[in-house]
């Protein structure tokens, strides 16, 4: 099999980390005779990863893209140019499949269009699915929803993270095969010998007298909702009087976050912005609780990492997180009071059983075997006309 990996993102978040783990699983497979990784030169971390893999595995080749998904966003001419350039590359590769990393169905769309133009089998890897447009939504929102529903019919296969997302994909693309591939987390999270006191010492954090909670993830208010965390602190300042809140990460709203903390006496006392860190294990181990008040999620890596490191994580009750975490660690997404209550009650929750199940469920061995099985399977071919006919019927019934 000749396999391609397409990633045109300029950022390095959870989706990109999952993609790296997928690549590591595939380079071990003898049935994959060539693996071409298409990645933007601008994404230095992802490019460096791909170059390192290519140096160590003869069947791997790296192709640098001159654009990113972000650079062509809302620019039809740039999208057209990126699509034609990518299609020209694909025509020379003669791939069996192109795995396209998609955070949403509209991200990496140049790769998706290029695959269709060149009749290359397109496998969409872990796209999230928007909720249905509400009745009475603005016309522009309804039009966007219809366009997205058409785009969901373009891939010939989906790889997603759990049954919840599988069900959502089948609603928008009922004729497209969907496979589940749960991710894995490095064994060092479950096997670490680092103690809480040692981690706090290494990070120059208080050894005693402070309850520490950490938010670890991309600083993006619409997704990860660090602003919701700040609002909860502001609503309950007395509860956080002896608490240190660590915000670990970087992202588009980092400056807004820093300004908000700087301008507030309440936040300045208890919030510490750490910035991006390549190794988050010490911050997890040093904390009493991890928080994840996201607006939406797939299967967040930090959730798995925290549980494997035997630290509770309090998450908003969105997507399918209820199938991973017990009610004691979940709160209604817009309830600040419940969020705060769970933050301080979570450390008393017994994690042993949950940690043991996570260790089995999210192992590297399981992931590698399943990744190879899913991608080596032939994908039933649907004619483009079938997709367009189905899309037309959808548009006509809205």
What pLDDT digit, counting tens, does each position of 188-218 carry?
A: 999 999 999 999 999 999 998 999 999 999 9
Residue pair 35/26 in contact by the 8 Å Cβ criterion: yes
Across 40-44, 148-152, 361-365, the highest mean pLDDT is recorded for 40-44
Query: CA 170, CA 8: separation in Å to the nearest integer?
Result: 25
At 397, the pLDDT band (50, 70, 90 cuts) reads: very low
Q: Are strands 97-101 and 313-316 parallel, antiparallel or unpaired?
A: unpaired
User: If you average pLDDT over every residue of the chain, what do you get?
Assistant: 92
Residue 395 has pLDDT above 50, yes or no: no
At 135, the pLDDT band (50, 70, 90 cuts) reads: low
Confidence at residue 381, expressed as pLDDT on a 0 to 100 scale: 59
Distances (CA, A) of 239 to 211, 242, 333, 340, 347: 11, 8, 20, 8, 15
Verdict on whether the full-model pTM lies above 0.85: no
Confidence at residue 133, expressed as pLDDT on a 0 to 100 scale: 67
Please write the tens of the pLDDT for every residue from 19-70: 999 999 999 999 999 999 999 999 999 999 999 999 999 999 999 999 999 9
Residue 75 has pLDDT above 60, yes or no: yes
Query: CA 286, CA 274: separation in Å to the nearest integer?
Result: 14
Average pLDDT over residues 120-146: 83
| CATH 3.40.50.2000 domain extents, the chain | 2-184+366-397, 188-360
Residue 377 has pLDDT above 70, yes or no: yes
Q: Distance of alpha carbon 151 from its chain centroid, rounded?
A: 20
Angle between helices 336-345 and 226-235 (to 10 degrees): 90
Confidence at residue 380, expressed as pLDDT on a 0 to 100 scale: 67
Confidence at residue 93, expressed as pLDDT on a 0 to 100 scale: 97
Residue 244 has pLDDT above 50, yes or no: yes
Residue 389 has pLDDT above 80, yes or no: no
Confidence at residue 394, expressed as pLDDT on a 0 to 100 scale: 38
Distances (CA, A) of 153 to 3, 8, 298, 386, 395: 21, 20, 20, 10, 13
List the CATH code of the domain at 188-360.
3.40.50.2000
Average pLDDT over residues 305-321: 94
Query: CA 84, CA 58: separation in Å to the nearest integer?
Result: 28
At 243, the pLDDT band (50, 70, 90 cuts) reads: very high
Residue 108 has pLDDT above 60, yes or no: yes
Confidence at residue 390, expressed as pLDDT on a 0 to 100 scale: 41
Higher pLDDT, 34 or 360: 34
Higher pLDDT, 142 or 266: 266
At 95, the pLDDT band (50, 70, 90 cuts) reads: very high
| Best CA proximity match to 285, nearest among 179, 176, 398, 192 | 192
CB neighbour list of residue 247: distance below 8 Å, 6 or more residues apart: 214, 215, 219, 226, 229, 257, 271, 272, 273, 274
Query: CA 255, CA 260: separation in Å to the nearest integer?
Result: 9
CB neighbour list of residue 19: distance below 8 Å, 6 or more residues apart: 5, 7, 101, 125
How far is it between the farthest Cα atoms of the chain?
66
Residue 297 has pLDDT above 70, yes or no: yes
Query: CA 216, CA 303: separation in Å to the nearest integer?
Result: 10
Confidence at residue 382, expressed as pLDDT on a 0 to 100 scale: 53
Percent of the chain at pLDDT exceeding 90 = 79
Residue pair 367/25 in contact by the 8 Å Cβ criterion: yes
Please write the tens of the pLDDT for every residue from 165-196: 899 999 999 999 999 999 888 889 999 999 99
Query: CA 366, CA 162: separation in Å to the nearest integer?
Result: 15
Confidence at residue 306, expressed as pLDDT on a 0 to 100 scale: 97
Residue 122 has pLDDT above 50, yes or no: yes
Q: Distance of alpha carbon 343 from its chain centroid, rounded?
A: 23
Three-state DSSP string of the chain: CEEEEECCCCCCCHHHHHHHHHHHHHCCCCCCCEEEEEEECCCHHHHHHHHHHHHHCCCEEEEEECCCCCCCCCCHHHHHHHHHHHHHHHHHHCCCEEEEECCCCCCCHHHHHHHHHCCCCEEEECCCCCCCCCCCCCHHHHHHHHHHHHHCCCCCEEEECCHHHHHHHHHHCCCCCEEECCCCCCCHHHHCCCCHHHHHHHCCCCCCCCEEEEEECCCCHHHHCHHHHHHHHHHCCCCCCCEEEEEECCCCCHHHHHHHHHHCHHHHHHEEEEECCCCCHHHHHHCCEEEECCCCCCCCHHHHHHHHCCCCEEEECCCCHHHCCCHHHEECCCCHHHHHHHHHHHHHCCCHHHHHHHHHHCCHHHHHHHHHHHHHCCCCCCCHHHHHHHHHHHHHHC
Higher pLDDT, 316 or 296: 316
List the CATH code of the domain at 2-184+366-397.
3.40.50.2000
At 8, the pLDDT band (50, 70, 90 cuts) reads: very high
């Amino acid at each position: 099999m000749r396999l391609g990996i397409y990633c045109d993102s300029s950022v390095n978040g959870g989706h990109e980390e999952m993609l790296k783990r997928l690549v590591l699983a595939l380079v071990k497979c003898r049935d994959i005779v060539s693996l071409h990784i298409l990645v933007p030169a601008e994404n230095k971390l992802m490019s460096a990863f791909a170059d390192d893999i290519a140096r160590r595995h003869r069947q791997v080749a790296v192709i640098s893209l001159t654009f990113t998904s972000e650079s062509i966003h809302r620019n039809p001419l740039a999208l057209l140019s990126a699509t034609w350039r990518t299609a020209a590359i694909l025509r020379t590769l003669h791939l069996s499949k192109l795995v396209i990393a998609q955070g949403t169905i509209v991200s990496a769309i140049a790769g998706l269009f290029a695959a269709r133009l060149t009749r290359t089998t397109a496998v969409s890897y872990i796209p999230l699915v928007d909720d249905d447009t509400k009745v009475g939504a603005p016309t522009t929102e309804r039009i966007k929803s219809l366009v997205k529903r058409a785009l969901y019919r373009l891939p010939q296969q989906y790889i997603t993270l759990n049954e919840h997302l599988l069900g959502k994909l089948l609603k928008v693309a009922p004729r497209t095969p969907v496979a589940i591939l749960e991710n894995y987390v490095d064994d060092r999270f479950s096997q670490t010998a680092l103690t809480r006191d040692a981690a706090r010492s290494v990070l120059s954090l208080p050894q005693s007298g402070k309850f520490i909670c950490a938010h670890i993830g991309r600083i993006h208010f619409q997704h990860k909702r660090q602003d919701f965390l700040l609002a909860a602190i502001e609503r309950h300042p007395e509860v956080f009087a002896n608490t240190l809140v660590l915000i670990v990460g970087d992202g588009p709203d980092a400056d807004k976050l820093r300004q908000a903390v700087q301008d507030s006496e309440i936040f300045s006392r208890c919030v510490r912005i750490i910035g991006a860190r390549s190794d988050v294990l010490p911050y997890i181990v040093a904390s009493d609780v991890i928080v994840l008040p996201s607006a939406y999620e797939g299967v967040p890596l930090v959730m798995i990492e925290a549980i494997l490191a035997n630290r509770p994580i309090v998450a908003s009750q969105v997507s399918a997180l209820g199938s991973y975490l017990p009610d004691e660690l979940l709160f209604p997404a817009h309830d600040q009071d419940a969020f705060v209550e769970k933050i301080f009650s979570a450390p008393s929750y017994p994690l042993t059983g949950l940690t043991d199940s996570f260790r089995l469920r999210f192992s590297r061995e399981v992931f590698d075997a399943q990744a190879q099985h899913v991608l080596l399977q032939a994908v039933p071919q649907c004619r483009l006309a079938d997709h367009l006919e189905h899309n037309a019927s959808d548009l006509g019934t809205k």
